[in-house]
């Protein structure tokens, strides 16, 4: 946890860290808060699913997923901090839609890119964010308390059946909240992008990470002889979940990526276009895929691999690493985008958003022109051209004029002198000691809360009616 504090300090004192209202600190806070929230809620999802499915094999170690879920109270406090930062303008994570006067200005011009923000404004606004996001995270934390009280000391089949009502209620709330939170917390970082698979994609990713943590904690407790009856049969079943959800994650990854060929609609492609233009994010996009799919597929496909504890532990560590980088790619680009300051170095956020929309228009013009040459008269190209025309009407600046303005800006800063000119940085995002230390700080606090919860009560409930079945679990 000390390294986490050091990472926070570095994110404020190192050169260039103050850009975009210290966006590197805030985006790291958002990234790790969401990532570890997903890991913690996986514990409740695991218990609720087995409770509804009359599962008994997990009863031996059910205190571990319960303990993991206790971290949701820490998550709730961090979510309140992020929400306060939005309301008080401490950060610019959601600068695209956080200022109502900018949305109204876009509405009057009817620019296509901003019309998207206008259409989402009843949902994407500070009031809705302040109510929905902390509200859902608080509900998750309260479910953690309810599960702990209800499931820790089950002594009869009657109590077991009563706990099923709580599990059913949680599954219903979780099915809605996990999608809505992914839209408001993560996808709204770029409100011009659409993905109907985004909630499921997030769920699959952090569930793999959650099962990985569960496996590693159980391996540690087994090595300390805290779970003498925990054997390779229990871990084999957890390995099946790790394998299965990795395949499910890959299915969603590829299905979402296929949207870039869907009728050439800019709103479905802009998210990928931005990442393919940034070397770091382009590398991470494909690197995380190689870690998160071929590795678990090839290693865990065999039965004996899931029963070899060292092999299973290695895959779990790699999944934690791989899915953290996956969420890094989701979160870090938009908040850390470089905003060019022209004549007024203290220009307000409305001007910044106008510049970003103009640049988006130029990108889409080039994209649609290239496609028009290849597929003359294609309906998707016609859609993209209309999209750009709306934007030109709004900004009063043709793409050529915008380019000329950029060239003038480059000359004024000494960047327009031919082939020797260096490409200006387009992102403040980094992957270094700041990110590492903040991640380790979150990791340390998560393990501290989890093991402290485990220490408060016995690891096994000897009166549970399914304990005997769990101890003799064999596959």
Statement to judge: residues 466 and 381 lie in one domain: no
The pLDDT tens digits for 56-77 are: 899 999 999 999 999 999 999 9
Rounded mean pLDDT, 334-349: 54
Cβ pair 168, 68 in contact under 8 A:
no
d(Cα 135, Cα 287) in Å, to the nearest integer?
35
Give pTM, 2 decimals.
0.80
Q: How confident is the model at residue 12 (pLDDT cuts 50, 70, 90)?
A: low
Q: Which domain holds residue 192?
A: 2-339+433-471
- pLDDT given at position 19: 54
Q: Residue 205: CB partners within 8 Å, gap ≥ 6?
A: 38, 249, 292, 323, 326, 327
Q: Are residues 364 and 406 in the same domain?
A: yes
In a domain, 421, yes or no: no
pLDDT averaged over every residue in the chain: 79
Q: Within a domain: residue 44?
A: yes
Residue 79 has a CB neighbour count (10 Å cut-off) of: 25
pLDDT digits (tens, 9 = 90+) for 306-323: 999 999 999 999 999 999
Whether 420 is in a domain gets the answer: no
Whether residue 422 lies inside any domain: the answer is: no
Asked whether residue 197 falls in the same domain as residue 304, the answer is yes
Percent of the chain with pLDDT over 70: 72
- Alpha-carbon span 115 to 117, nearest angstrom: 5
pLDDT in tens, 268-292: 788 888 888 889 999 999 999 999 9
Q: What is the mean pLDDT of residues 144-167?
A: 89
415: in domain: no
- Residue 123 within any structural domain of the chain: yes
pLDDT (0 to 100) of residue 263: 65
| Count: domains in the chain | 2
pLDDT surpassing 50 at residue 304: yes
Cα–Cα dist 214/208, whole Å: 10
Summarize the confidence of residues 423-443 as an average pLDDT: 79
Q: What is the DSSP letter of 427?
A: B
10 or 326: which carries more pLDDT confidence?
Answer: 326
Is there a single domain that holds both residue 320 and residue 397?
no
**Residues 186-228: tens digit of each pLDDT:** 999 988 888 888 999 999 999 999 999 999 999 999 999 999 8
């Amino acid at each position: 946890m000390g390294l986490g504090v050091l990472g926070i300090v570095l994110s404020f004192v190192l050169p260039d860290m103050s850009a975009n209202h210290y966006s590197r600190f805030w985006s790291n806070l958002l990234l790790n808060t969401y990532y570890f929230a997903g890991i913690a809620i996986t514990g409740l999802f695991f218990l609720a699913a087995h409770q509804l499915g009359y599962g008994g094999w997990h009863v031996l170690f059910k205190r571990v997923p319960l303990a993991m879920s206790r971290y949701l109270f820490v998550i709730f406090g961090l979510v309140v901090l992020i929400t306060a930062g939005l309301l008080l303008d401490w950060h610019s994570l959601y600068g695209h839609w956080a200022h109502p006067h900018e949305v109204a200005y876009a509405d009057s011009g009817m620019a296509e890119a901003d019309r998207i923000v206008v259409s989402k404004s009843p949902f994407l606004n500070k009031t809705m964010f302040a109510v929905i996001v902390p509200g859902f995270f608080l509900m998750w934390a309260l479910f953690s308390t309810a599960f702990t009280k209800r499931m820790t000391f089950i002594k009869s089949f009657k109590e077991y059946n009563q706990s099923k009502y709580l599990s059913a209620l949680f599954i219903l709330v979780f099915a809605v909240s996990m999608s809505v939170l992914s839209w408001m917390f993560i996808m709204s970082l770029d409100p011009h992008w659409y993905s109907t698979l985004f909630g499921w994609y997030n769920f699959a990713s952090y569930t793999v990470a959650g099962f990985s943590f569960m496996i590693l904690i159980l391996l540690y407790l087994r090595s300390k002889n805290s779970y003498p009856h925990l054997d390779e049969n229990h871990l084999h079943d957890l390995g099946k979940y790790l394998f299965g959800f990795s395949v499910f994650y890959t299915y969603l990854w590829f299905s979402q990526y296929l949207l870039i060929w869907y009728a050439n609609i800019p709103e479905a492609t802009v998210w990928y276009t931005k990442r393919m233009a940034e070397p770091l994010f382009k590398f991470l996009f494909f690197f995380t895929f190689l870690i998160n799919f071929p590795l678990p597929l090839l290693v865990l496909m065999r039965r004996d691999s899931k029963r070899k504890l060292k092999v299973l532990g290695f895959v779990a560590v790699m999944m934690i690493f791989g899915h953290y980088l996956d969420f890094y790619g989701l979160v870090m680009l938009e908040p850390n985008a470089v905003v060019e300051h022209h004549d007024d170095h203290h220009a307000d956020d409305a001007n910044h958003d106008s510049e970003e929309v103009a640049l988006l228009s130029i990108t889409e013009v080039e994209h649609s022109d290239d496609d028009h040459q290849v597929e003359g008269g294609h309906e998707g190209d016609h859609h993209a051209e209309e999209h750009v025309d709306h934007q030109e009407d709004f900004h009063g600046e043709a793409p050529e004029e915008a380019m000329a303005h950029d060239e003038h800006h480059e000359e004024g800063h000494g960047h327009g002198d031919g082939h020797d000119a260096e490409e200006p940085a387009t992102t403040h995002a980094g992957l270094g000691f700041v990110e590492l230390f903040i991640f380790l700080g979150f990791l340390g606090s998560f393990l501290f809360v989890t093991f402290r919860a485990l220490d408060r009560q016995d690891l096994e409930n000897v009166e549970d009616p399914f304990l005997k079945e769990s101890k003799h679990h064999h596959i």
